[in-house]
Amino acid sequence: MNIRHWVRPEVWNMAGYLPGEQPDAGRPFIKLNTNENPFPPPLPVLEAIAAADPAQLRLYPEPSSRPVREAAAAAYGLEAGQVVVGNGSDDLLTILLRTFVAAGECVAVPEPTYSLYHSLAQLQGGKFVGVPWEGDWQLPLQALLAHRPKMVLVARPNAPTGHVIPLSVVAALCQQSPGVVVLDEAYVDFAADNGLALLAEHPNLIIIRTFSKSMALAGMRIGLSFSSVAIAGQMHKVRDSYNVNRLSQLAAVAALQHLASYQPLLQTIRDERQRLTAALRQRGFQVPESQANFVLAQVPAGGWGGQAWLEALREAGILVRYFGQDPALVNHLRITIGRPEEMAQLLEQVDRLLAMQSSSTPAP
Ligand SMILES: *Cc1c(COP(=O)(O)O)cnc(C)c1O
């Protein structure tokens, strides 16, 4: 018996997305590997979750997450009909691929970027095209469009680089694209600007956001998409009927009603990001300017490689992410911005490991 005869070739032949490690609760790691928020959500959000009535869980949630869509519309100056809520933004990405990309149709993406785009396009039987970023992380606009893609996905800020492309380039992409443009704003609350104002002028633009990073609710699985009402209507037909659970809807509404109470926490993360960027550069790492809640750090030349750094930091109780299987990211560590004391401990360990290397101790 070989199950290969039963499994769809698209599934059999794909590697599957590999999420970052979530260690057991008992292990005291400093967790800088999956871009979660190092702070809990603000008190009003925690209180709203704690006040939920568990007896209500016997009932299905509101199918279209209407209270969340209304709160998002009020918070971001949209109509509720323009918003679709997902079980995390990964759910919205799946919905978008299923809504727009038929088997064999092209999905084009600048790379390196969030590798789930590739997995989801493969699952859908789409033709995935990854085009390398141009020098200084510029969007390879013409090279992407040369494939006449049904869908272009761009993360802004991008992961794992943290860079942002100019909004004028996003506008040009929408204007010239024969298909839809998905702007993934997972990290936009840590950035200087966002693409919301482009929605009104570009009917093929879809923006997605997540509550997993800036909103400190990764465990709740909440994402939003913003688009035309017409596109949202098609997406609603594709999503699971009850794709967002009651507790998550409640938490999402509370977070959207208390956006201002997130500001101090977001500012702390931006400040720590600037501090860490400077400190790592001072120590010989190459770190591009990031507008996200992480930095991408190329390890100093002549010392250990990326895999050795990953393992030595893990040994020291610090988890970071290494994507060494991608040739463009060899010897680059992606480090999530943590609390100030966590960043101090990281730098302490970096200094210790650099000293070990200069006294030529072999890599672990
Ligand atoms: C984390 C992340 C997501 C997924 O967010 P969820 O809402 O947790 O599914 C989507 N896109 C990018 C670029 C991300 O980094």
pLDDT tens digit sequence for 114-154: 999 999 999 999 999 999 999 999 999 999 999 999 999 99
Q: Is the C-beta atom of 155 inside 6 A of ligand 1?
A: yes
Q: Is the CB of 336 under 6 A from ligand 1?
A: no
pTM of the model: 0.96
Q: What gap in Å lies between CA 141 and CA 289, rounded to an integer?
A: 21
Q: 1 C-alpha vs ligand 1 centroid, how far in Å?
A: 38
Residue 156 burial (CB count, 10 A): 25
Q: Are 85 and 222 in contact (CB under 8 A)?
A: yes
Q: Is the CB of 89 under 6 A from ligand 1?
A: yes
Segments in the chain below pLDDT 70: 360-364
In angstroms, what is the span from residue 94 Cα to ligand 1's centroid? 12
Distance from Cα 90 to the centre of ligand 1, integer Å: 6
Distances (CA, A) of 101 to 109, 202, 301: 14, 19, 42
Q: What pLDDT is attached to residue 95?
A: 98
- Report the separation in Å between the CA atom of 283 and the middle of ligand 1, taken as the mean of its atom positions: 30
Mutate to test the pocket of ligand 1, among 212, 213, 290, 336 (most ligand atoms within 8 A of CB): 212
Side-chain half-sphere CA neighbours of 7 within 13 A: 11
